[in-house]
Amino acid sequence: MSTPPPTFTEGTFAPNPARGPLLGMLRAQAGIETRLALRNGEQVLLTLLIPVVLLFGLSLIPLLPVPPSQVAQPRVGSVLPSILALAVMSSAFTSQAIALGFDRRYGVLRRLAATALPRWLLVTGRLVAVLAVVVIQVVLLCVVAALIGWRPSEMAGGANLLGAAVSVLLGAAAFGALGILLGGTLRAEIVLALANVIWFVLLLAGGIVIPLSMLPGPIAVVAQFLPSGALAEALRATMVEGAAPGTGPVLVLVGWAVVAGLVAARTVRWR
């Protein structure tokens, strides 16, 4: 004799097709973007290994100019701000733009569009992932710098680490928004070429390798309004001179982050 199946009152298993909480969606999206970035060998090479190699090389070989106040200090203290700015630009802008461009090409974003994930949350999730990768970069580079002689307390002005952290976060937000804007609107092949060209231009003439005070006049005027120049100058002020980041660089970074982020949230295409 078989037992009758259990019965339930009407409405016990009422479906709830609404999307999940936004915070949970953001956490999931940022988490998977971070893991994908760290699993990509080319991106790891660009964002982690190259800055470490440059930090070693430029600290040992006198290629970059050293401020007069830092001549008697270990060279790594003057090189580190430039390498940090380079690392932030590499991960937040170049890697982000290329990865997003090819995600669009291979239909990843088109599949995400079929979910409840809004466009602005996609942008925010990628920015959070950028910040996570940047934190790993900063910790790694600072540890390596400490191993080869960097002592923040022994710098001529005493390093302002809190100001440097704020500068790095603002720089990551600005470059991340620009990377998403570029990778989310152009074809993957164009993004690949353009992102690398912009990377080289900003590296050489954007205030990262050469301080703004040593660039030719017209180039220096333009570079001070670029996120690369603003970030590099803010890091030099905080880590070499022990001063605040400066109102000008902070406003430039905030302006790029807000404008590029808003435009990206409206213009990023799913395909």
pTM score, whole prediction: 0.84
> Residue 207 burial (CB < 10 Å; 0-12/13-18/19+)?
buried
Q: Supply the range of the domain harboring residue 113.
A: 24-57+74-267
In a domain, 7, yes or no: no
**Has residue 12 got a pLDDT over 90?**
no
Percentage of the chain with pLDDT > 70?
89
d(CA 15, CA 108): 28
d(CA 73, CA 57): 17
Of 7-21, 62-76, 182-196, which has the strongest mean pLDDT? 182-196
Count of domains forming the chain: 1
In a domain, 3, yes or no: no
Instruction: Assess contact for 208 and 89: CB atoms under 8 A.
Output: yes
In a domain, 106, yes or no: yes
Among 251, 217, 216, which residue's Cα sits nearest to residue 233? 251
In a domain, 184, yes or no: yes
Among 126, 148, 131, 146, which residue's Cα sits nearest to residue 59? 148
The model's pLDDT over 212-260, given as tens digits with 9 standing for 90+, comes to: 888 888 888 999 999 999 999 999 888 888 888 889 999 999 999 999 9
In a domain, 64, yes or no: no
